[in-house]
A and B are shown apart, each in its own frame.
Chain A
Amino acid sequence: MKRESYKKIVLPLIVFFIIVGIWSSIAQNVNNFPTPMDTFTHAFGGTTSDGDEIIGVLSDPFYVENEDDKGVFWQIVNSLQRVFSGFFLAVIIGVPVGLAIGMSKNFQLALEPYIQIFKPVSPLAWLPLLLFVFQDINTTAISTIFVTSIWPIIINTALGVKSVNEDYLNVAKVLRFTPLEKVRKIILPVAVPYIFTGMRLSLGIAWLVIVAAEMLTGGIGIGFWIWDEYNNLNYYNIIIGIIIVGLVGYILDVIMGKIADYFDYRKRA
């Protein structure tokens, strides 16, 4: 046991040094590619290898200069607002649709082809159409997230409903449950863990989509910020942006996982 927890720290640390090693050798061979040390300085402030005094991206992430110039914290907050707006919309519509598909063969037959067709469509393909329809950056970003993140919720909810044991439904029949009681007392308890799995996947997709969407729509948000740093030739900040996006995505996933476990009767002691 103790050996395992020791490995948990040492093994990732080894990989960390390998990554930094590869990164350094790339930086030496590619012109203007940020070195690990300079990237670190650009993140947290200090003096670079060229002797420049730098205020790091993360030394004051909360600053607000004006509407178009805000700290990285506000960029993330803005992106998260869009992500959660689109995500909640997907949940509100996706769960009932998934329940309907799971409970009714007719619903399934009617909708399945369209789910299969629209599910693999890239968010970047939706974006121009939605931008044309809404003519508004924020609505476009939110609706792009909605149309790309709703599918795993629908699919997993339907799967959850279908995995309800026939015996449980027989219990409901013998007790003469109304359709509503059947959903509330039998189907939902079984389906909820599946629904949360769908939500977890969906939130992951939403976070992937937002970066791409914001690069194209512009304005504000972490995706736009990374693109903006590219245009400003601040390559350090692109790498910092990637790491921030990764960390935020990881945190979102962990939180969703915890919530999912909480609602999963199988994980209760």
Chain B
Amino acid sequence: MEKKFLSLEFVDKTFPLPNGKEYVAVKDVNLQIKKNEIVSIIGHSGCGKSTLLNLIAGLDTVSSGGVFLNNKEVNGPGPDRAVVFQNHSLLPWLTVFQNIEMAVKKVMPELSKKEVQERVDMFVDMVNLTHARDKYPGEISGGMKQRVGIARALSIRPEVLLMDEPFGALDSLTRANLQEHLMRIQQNVKNTVIIITHDIDEAVLLSDRVVMMTNGPKATIGEILEVDLPHPRNRVELQNDKEYIRCREAILSFLYEKFAKEHE
């Protein structure tokens, strides 16, 4: 029996509707996540997967049940649960360096000016952006912005890295490139990562476990799939790997047979 690291227990989330009724977004979600584990949460749009991430991040509060990190209940956002937002959310008036610096300075006030600078530069380098260090977000590509977002999130030494469809807005080549980036970073520094995605290949490629959500309202966890593939993974070699194919098919059948979404 492992010590509980991150745990969601009987989590419900309801939203009030303008007509006075309530919308039950997620219901009875129970999930245990181990330290240094990479977990993907996948489901059709409107299945409450982003809601779940916001609850873990503390940007939204649970209606009942609880989210626990190291046995302490989460009640509000904090730097121990860094978020990589879907649309990068870099501050456009700060350079790449300054965006990360702002986070480091705030979360680690004990660092000297020089230490802050070294730390920021280390994370800029980790996502291969040293050449764009002093550029503004408006001057770099979408993929680069998302890399800055990842660097900023990792620079504050989070317990959990939460990624809300981090590569969703990018073209497929850039997306693959960023997945490689993330896997390489993960080889060097183990992080606990939760990725919200609707991309089956991304889920299998990156994760140790894939959590499949049923459709909303009252969405909950339908199945959890263990991806039994060693790291580091190579996307080309995996294409013919039996385990990879099994995982893909399991998710496909869940999403398109058991919980197929009616045409919208």
Contacts and interface: CB of A to CB of B under 8 A. Distances in A.
Interface string A41-58: 000000000000000000
B89 A189 contact: no
A266 B137 CA distance: 11
A168 B102 CA distance: 13
Given A173-B59, A174-B79, A175-B106, A167 B156 contact: no
Contact of B89 (A167, A176, A181, A265): A167
B83 interface: yes
B107 interface: yes
Interface residues of A, number: 17
Chain B interface helix/strand/loop/mixed = loop
Interface in A111-159: none
A231 interface: no
B254 interface: no
A165 B89 contact: yes
A174 B77 contact: yes
Interface string A74-86: 0000000000000
Chain A interface helix/strand/loop/mixed = helix
Contact of B103 (A170, A175, A186, A189): A175
A170 B89 contact: yes
B85 A170 contact: yes
Contacts of A170: 59, 77, 83, 85, 89
A64 to B, nearest CB: 48
Contact of A171 (B81, B91, B107): B91
A97 B176 CA distance: 48
Contacts of B91: 168, 171, 185-186, 189
Interface in B74-97: 76-79, 81-83, 85, 87, 89, 91-93
